[in-house]
Amino acid sequence: MIELVGKMGPHDMGGDEAGPIDTVDHGMSHWEKHANAVRMTVSGKKLATLDEMRRACEDMGARYYELSYFERLTEALVIVLKEKNYFTEAKFNNKMIDVRERFDVPIIALPEAHDHDGKPIQEDETGEGPNEHQVMNLSIQDLLEENNLITANDIRKTIEKFDQDYPNRGQKVVVRAWTDEQFKSQLLEDANLAIEGMGIDLEHAARLIVVENTDTVHNIIVCTLCSCYPRVLMGQPPTWYKSRSYRSRVVNDPRSVLSEFGINLPDSIFVRTHDSNADMRYMVLPKRPEGTENWSHSKLESIISRDALVGVSIPNIEDYNRETDG
């Protein structure tokens, strides 16, 4: 049994003991992308807020630890939508039955050599149909569509934004700051205003604070409570950012966390951890590498990774050389 002392709930992991971090981003499965799109669409239309979903997660108790990130958020969304009378328990259960029957088809065994050129097959290619939490998300979508609250096109557009639009915006902001001192000053003073001045729609996102790496300070960001993250600038947070190990350890031992990502800073550099929350997000402004003074904007963007904007990576010229040599 887990005892919570001085904690806000099972979601509050900052400072907990935890093991090594799996620093590889394993990406998102098909059903997780759909689950994220349903959640963000519902939130965007103000049918349920992220705070309400977070509260539902916090009330799960020990079950919180039994579920993966998107499983947890899926169950929380169902709880909130029922509470707000968008559908009843009976309607939701009946819809779950309908969705399961929709995928009730004979399973055809795949040949052993069927490996998609060494790539893992998607869960919907196995012939086994959707998992239980995917059925839940499809049921949520169907019920809200039937009440004309969302559309299938809303879900599709949200998936496309996260896949295509959001991931590269942060790099453009950094390059502008590296090449325009006036913009950089405004960015550090009021990031939302500066970024929207670039023509980037932050879509009513929470307040954003940009923190600058210098010769004496290195910044790293986390969300110890869940996974708050500037998605409209950086896309989906990597899997390690949402992990218990990262969220627990980075607040009280950031240097060892950085070392697991291959960064070993001298003691003369102070490492500062910034904890995001529902009302405020952070993004790191990395130091511009020496020797890039005459580089084009596109060339500069090529050495700025998402991880550098979190603070677990440092841009360097070798990144570009490796990319071009490869």
Cα separation, 319 vs 315, whole angstroms? 7
**What's the pLDDT at 132?**
94
Positions marked active-site? 223, 226-228
Neighbour tally for 205: CB within 10 Å: 15
Within 8 A by CB and 6+ apart from 24, the residues are 239, 240
* Average pLDDT per 10 consecutive residues for the chain, totaling 326 residues: 44 59 83 94 92 90 89 96 97 96 68 49 55 95 97 94 91 98 98 95 86 98 87 91 90 94 95 90 96 95 95 87 54
Output the pLDDT for position 112: 59
Neighbour tally for 37: CB within 10 Å: 23
Residue 196: both structure tokens together: 């929207």
Q: Measuring CA to CA, how many Å separate 28 from each of 221, 238, 304, 311? A: 21, 9, 22, 22
The Cα–Cα gap between 320 and 300 comes to 9
Going along the chain from its start, the domains and CATH numbers come out as 30-163 (no CATH), 168-325 (3.90.330.10)
* Distance of alpha carbon 163 from alpha carbon 250, whole angstroms: 27
SS3 call for 110:
coil
- Phi and psi (nearest 5°) for 209? -115, 125
